[in-house]
Amino acid sequence: MEQFMNLGLSKTMLKTLAKKGFEDPTPIQSSVIPFLLNDERDVVAQAETGTGKTAAFGIPILEGLNAQDKEVKALVLVPTRELALQVAGEISSLKGSRNIEVLPVYGGQAIGPQLKGLKQGANIVVGTPGRILDHIRRGSLRLESLAFLVLDEADQMLDMGFIEDIETILSHAPQERRTLLFSATMPRQVIAIARRYMREYETITTIRKAKDPQLTEQIYFEVREQDKFEALCRTIDMEPEFYGLVFCRTRVETADIAARLVERGYHAEGIHGDINQVEREKIMRGFRNRRHTILVATDVAARGIDINNLSHVINYAIPQDSDAYVHRIGRTGRAGKKGIAITFVTSRDRRTLDTIRHASGPALRRGHIPGVREVIAAKRARIRSEIEQVMQEENFGDYSTLASELLEAGDAATVLAACLRRTFGKELDTSSYAEIHQVNPVDTKGHTRLFVARGRNQGITPPKLAKLIHQETGVKEHLMRDIKIFDDFSYISIPFAEAAHFNNKTRQKQGRPMISKAKQEKGRPVIAKSGQGKGRSDMSKSRPEKARRAAR
């Protein structure tokens, strides 16, 4: 604890950190904690996922609170309900025996208990922007006494479309507050928030050096949704020492996959937003100690997990974008050791796969799901290797006597086969595996660009454009790629095979086809003079709105 002592923390806090098993502060903690304790300026901090950001701002906030004060002194805004529970739980575990109330507030939960908690007096409120704003408008959450306002995972909140809610909340907070902004990336929108709503601030960055991309082998498997679990089991069984993370999309899916793995005999656990902090810490200790070697998790629940020597990261559900993909696979292939990142791709994931492949380049390649014979062969080789290692020992004690007695009762092959079956059970039984149907490869090349004489000014969004193309041309929506929407026109790509049957006799707009093949000029589509769009994609608008409503 020597390094924590040098940060200027109280004896009470040091005692709490020691009980939690903290040893050395992470780089973000070493930089942010003393700054917040000794400086009055705001903070903009950039650090990767899993670097201890919650403790970096939670510890200084707790150090400055008076347990006798029942007013809200700190407000932490987070993008999702799962993260609200996780951050609240982590801060609660850091308060020790002090009588400080930490209240999570988020959508999807009955508002009654939240109203009661706020009325009784909460010192720290952690919540999603939508529900926080709801309480502010009801008058149940008052920010007059606020000392700290934290924007956690700021880039993700902006991606999810929370900008207006955040700005409204900031307008209700007192000017003399301290604002702490934490983000894994620093896009222009995040910087704009800092410049507009923060006072003089210090920028703290603790980004690791880029790791060798060759250390992580990136593969994707094309698979039907109903075959995913079987593909997961085969992937695990191919490895002699599988130790990895399996990412799912929802809490329900996470719990289901973890339970099915356990039922099938694997040492697996699952973590998600419904698991309290005590249980989460217990599960993580078991994973670090390898009492279980498979951890199934949602993206949010996995934030804060920073474990070396993981052999695999399995994207059971494809990440929502390339940034999330990079964060996930960054947990393997560390410290000079190789790792494998495998992503399961279904037909509905093909657009997202294109986005990820564009960001990853040739590093992400298509692989094949191991066949049953391959898995059995891998297991046979593993069993043989284990036995040969044991055979190198010189003294087998009473087992030598027992072996001699067994050989007197039967031939050597029969005796050995009986011993193997007794030890390894149904490990080599092919009936343990279900059939997996072959999926046609995803064609990420060979597309034709279409010009659509409608754009943002006509109310076009990516989902509406895809639906329109399907109605007018018959092309299935999952085959469409690379949507770009401008003010009065749009572009979209369809496979060559579909384009061969494309008919320009679609509805006319101002004397020309509403949908036509885009002209080319030096390899790029010609932008019609009738609309001078800004040239940026609006791909992010539909998904953030859905995510924002869900989180509220």
Report DSSP state, residue 214.
G
Report DSSP state, residue 67.
T
CA–CA distance, 180 with 146 (Å, rounded to integer): 13
CA–CA distance, 356 with 333 (Å, rounded to integer): 18
CATH (domain of 300): 3.40.50.300
On whether both 23 and 152 belong to a single domain, the answer is yes
Residue 286 main-chain phi, psi, to 5 deg: -65, -35
On whether both 176 and 281 belong to a single domain, the answer is no
**What pLDDT is recorded for position 459?**
87
Residue with tokens 């400055």: 64
Q: What is the DSSP string of 4-64?
A: HHTTT--HHHHHHHHHHT--S--HHHHHHHHHHHH--SEEEEEE-TTS-HHHHHHHHHHHT
Average pLDDT score over residue span 138-151: 95
CATH (domain of 532): 3.30.70
On whether both 161 and 20 belong to a single domain, the answer is yes
Q: How many domains does the chain have?
A: 4
Whole-number average pLDDT of the chain: 83
Query: Tell me: the pLDDT tens digits for 248-257?
Result: 998 899 999 9
On whether both 262 and 298 belong to a single domain, the answer is yes
Instruction: For residue 441, tell me if it sits in a domain.
Output: no
In terms of Cα–Cα distance, which of 463, 461, 470, 466 is closest to 502? 470
Instruction: For residue 285, tell me if it sits in a domain.
Output: yes
Q: Which positions ≥6 away from 63 have C-beta within 8 Å? A: 9, 10, 13, 37
Instruction: For residue 393, tell me if it sits in a domain.
Output: yes
Least confident of 1-15, 449-463, 487-501: 487-501
On whether both 463 and 428 belong to a single domain, the answer is no
On whether both 324 and 251 belong to a single domain, the answer is yes
**Could you tell me the pLDDT band of residue 91, with boundaries at 50, 70 and 90?**
very high
On whether both 238 and 200 belong to a single domain, the answer is no
Does residue 537 contact residue 485 with C-beta atoms inside 8 Å?
yes
Instruction: For residue 442, tell me if it sits in a domain.
Output: no
CA–CA distance, 446 with 286 (Å, rounded to integer): 48
Report DSSP state, residue 440.
P
**What pLDDT is recorded for position 457?**
87
Segments of 354-404 assigned E as strands: 364-366
Q: Is the pLDDT of residue 26 over 90?
A: no
pTM flag (> 0.85): no
CA–CA distance, 457 with 425 (Å, rounded to integer): 66
On whether both 428 and 385 belong to a single domain, the answer is yes
**What pLDDT is recorded for position 512?**
61
Does residue 183 contact residue 190 with C-beta atoms inside 8 Å?
yes
Percent over 70 (pLDDT), the chain: 86
Instruction: For residue 52, tell me if it sits in a domain.
Output: yes
**What pLDDT is recorded for position 475?**
76
Q: Which of 329, 344, 371 is the last residue of a domain?
A: 371
**What pLDDT is recorded for position 536?**
37
Q: Which of 329, 349, 371 is the last residue of a domain?
A: 371
Report DSSP state, residue 410.
S
Residue 499 main-chain phi, psi, to 5 deg: -65, -25
Structure tokens at 201: 């601030």
Q: Is the pLDDT of residue 271 over 60?
A: yes
CA–CA distance, 164 with 70 (Å, rounded to integer): 29
On whether both 364 and 310 belong to a single domain, the answer is yes
Q: Which of 336, 354, 371 is the last residue of a domain?
A: 371
Query: Tell me: the pLDDT tens digits for 393-407?
Result: 878 888 888 999 899
**Could you tell me the pLDDT band of residue 529, with boundaries at 50, 70 and 90?**
very low
Instruction: For residue 98, tell me if it sits in a domain.
Output: yes
User: Residue 265 corresponds to which amino acid?
Assistant: G
Pick the residue with more confidence: 473 or 169? 169
Instruction: For residue 198, tell me if it sits in a domain.
Output: yes
Pick the residue with more confidence: 113 or 208? 113
Instruction: For residue 495, tell me if it sits in a domain.
Output: yes
Q: Is the pLDDT of residue 511 over 70?
A: no
**Could you tell me the pLDDT band of residue 203, with boundaries at 50, 70 and 90?**
very high
On whether both 121 and 65 belong to a single domain, the answer is yes
CA–CA distance, 51 with 31 (Å, rounded to integer): 12
Domain with 331, as residue range(s), is 213-371
Structure tokens at 413: 């092959």
Pick the residue with more confidence: 366 or 533? 366
Average pLDDT score over residue span 294-318: 85
Q: Which positions ≥6 away from 299 have C-beta within 8 Å? A: 247, 319, 324, 327, 328
In terms of Cα–Cα distance, which of 104, 162, 160 is closest to 130? 162
Does residue 192 contact residue 155 with C-beta atoms inside 8 Å?
no
CA–CA distance, 247 with 344 (Å, rounded to integer): 10
In terms of Cα–Cα distance, which of 294, 276, 286 is closest to 93? 276
On whether both 258 and 163 belong to a single domain, the answer is no
Structure tokens at 444: 């990420």
On whether both 313 and 403 belong to a single domain, the answer is no
